[in-house]
Amino acid sequence: MSVITIKDVAAKAGVSAKTVSRVINGEAHVRPELRERVEQVVAELDYRPNAFARSLSSSRSYLLGLFIDDPVSGYAADVQHGALMRCRERSYHLVVELVDLGGADWAGQVRSSIAALRLDGAIVAPPICDEAALTALFAEAGLPMVLVAPSSKAAASGSVRMDDRSAAREMTDYLLGLGHRRIAFIQGPESHRSSARREDGYREAMAKAGIAVDESTVLRGDFTFRAGLELGERLLSGLPRPTAIFAANDDMALGALITAMKLGIAVPEALSICGFDDSASSRAAWPQLTTIRQPKAEMAGAAVDILVNPQFRKQAGGAQSHLLLPHELIIRGSTAIAPAR
């Protein structure tokens, strides 16, 4: 089979090779009808730009780096998938770099990666997106970066996030609407700033409903399944038991669900349990987990879009580079009307 070239695409689309290049690279100043025509021909011919040739003919590598601290977590898997799919659409490539902030020379390793890979941009996942020492390294190298779910907008970078506080408030309001009043909350680790935002949303909803939070039912977890098991047992072994448990992520909610089963507490008849993230495991459990759908893959895809945008590359940090994506309350079988007292 002969290799399809950019000239083949240009000839079939009836445009110049330069126009094809602009469309592939996501550049502006291409009329919508021309862009649509070129994209259609690219799909028909299954054209794949040669990354090496593209980098030789420009100052760009067409390579983005995803910097993450836990590449095997469910959250990381969704972020990687979203970034990979969007890179494929944009004719870019993605490399995943592990950042262990507890390592002796993590900063040196990040500097080496930046220098060796000649990246066009960096996507920084939580919780390390909130580490000023790390983001300073990208700024020092002049490398465009987009932070995923940061605690605040960084002055010299793009960001993509959702409103964790509003989402947690909505979940708590939903439980209150079911008649629950004794609602326990399992926190995430302090190192994840989203944990605090989710707890804030829970507390705001409880306060608005005029319900005092029993501090003995607010426990610190670490986003792991085991934390849900252990903290679920603490919450459910004493009296009075909560009628609902809201965990700051799905893994901890599923741990609490298993503990309830072990103790013979019927879910959702005697106890409602809900989580946060809408991970794959939340749909595999029985009963399936009521949760907040966090648009993880979409946030990663949007981060890619920002990084390959020529305007962002020229002057990172403009208003157009900070995006807020919507969440969704997903109601499933793990929650129900509060049991009668």
pLDDT of residue 204: 98
Q: What is the pTM of this model?
A: 0.80
Residue-wise pLDDT tens digits, 283-295: 999 999 999 999 9
Helix spans in 6-105 (H): 6-13, 17-24, 32-45, 51-56, 74-89
199: left (phi over 0), alpha (psi -120 to 50) or beta: alpha
CB 91 within 8 A of CB 62: yes
Tell me what percent of the residues of the chain surpass a pLDDT of 70. Answer: 90
Mean pLDDT of 90-99: 91
In angstroms, the CA 125 to CA 294 distance is 14
Query: What is the rounded distance in angstroms from the CA atom of residue 69 to the CA atom of residue 311?
Result: 29
Residue 27 CB neighbour total at 10 angstroms: 15
Q: Mean pLDDT, to the nearest integer, of 103-125? A: 90
146: region left, alpha or beta (phi > 0 left; psi from -120 to 50 alpha): beta
Reported for 206-214, long-range contacts at CB under 8 A and 24+ positions apart, including other chains, are 206/172, 206/176, 209/173, 209/176, 211/176, 211/181, 213/185, 214/182
